[in-house]
Amino acid sequence: MTVTDTRTRLLETALKLIWSSNYNSVGVNEICKQAEITKGSFYHHFESKAELFCQASEHYWDKIRHDLDALMSPLNSPLAQLEGWLKLVLATKIGDDIDNIPGCAFFSAGNQTSCGEIDINNTLLQMNDRGIKYHIAMLRNLEGGGFITPTQDIEQVARLIQQFMHGFVSHTRLTRNLDNARQDLPEGIYRIIGLKPEYWYSNDVPATP
């Protein structure tokens, strides 16, 4: 196994374990065991679990950014961008298994580490800011197309989307009601962004990237 392969396996194993459990309950020993990597190899690549998490977050962002860029392509109408994003959120954060709702590993890690891990907090803030920038771009496209009520503060609406998303995911993991989730996510977002009623549940949706 090459050095690059070892590092990638550690990154992806860390994401998988933290996503299915939580940051505090996943230790270096378990990560190494699941990745079939020695602790010596782990510490050759990362100084700590916190550093691994930060790098794994970047690794995840590199992959999800590809999907977001495809959705935000000018080839897709503003409504297609919105509906495609909702579809992506439901697929990646909610899924189809009531007993294994993925949720958001990054939000969970932020709650657990609080202010104790500065590097983790900075990484999560950066992830949050990146998401908001995509929301802003989507909102501007929707506003330019006349699909939403014009607003003087698009950045605030983008932040509200992010805040709603965190609460939505946590509530869905608690209630484990997928039918409600599939109804509440789009309607909640439509209300927050001021989507005109005639465009609710548009069929103008791109294929999953």
The tens digit of pLDDT for each residue in 106-161 reads: 666 555 555 457 888 888 889 899 999 999 999 999 999 999 988 889 999 999 99
Helices (H), 21-153: 28-35, 39-45, 49-71, 78-89, 105-113, 118-144
Residue 90, token pair as written in the block: 């439901």
Q: Which CATH superfamily is domain 49-199 in?
A: Tetracycline Repressor, domain 2 (1.10.357.10)
**What average pLDDT score do residues 192-207 get?**
80
Q: Residue 90 has what pLDDT?
A: 92
Residue in 118, 117, 104 with CA at minimum distance from that of residue 61: 104
> Residue 62 pLDDT > 70, yes or no?
yes
Report the chain's mean pLDDT, rounded to a whole number: 86
* pLDDT at residue number 206: 47
Instruction: Return the sign of the alpha-carbon dihedral for residues 181, 185, 188, 190.
Output: negative
Q: Please state the pTM of the whole predicted model.
A: 0.83
Mean pLDDT over 186-190 rounds to 96
What integer pLDDT is reported at residue 160 of this predicted model? 97
Query: Which pLDDT score is estimated for 209?
Result: 39
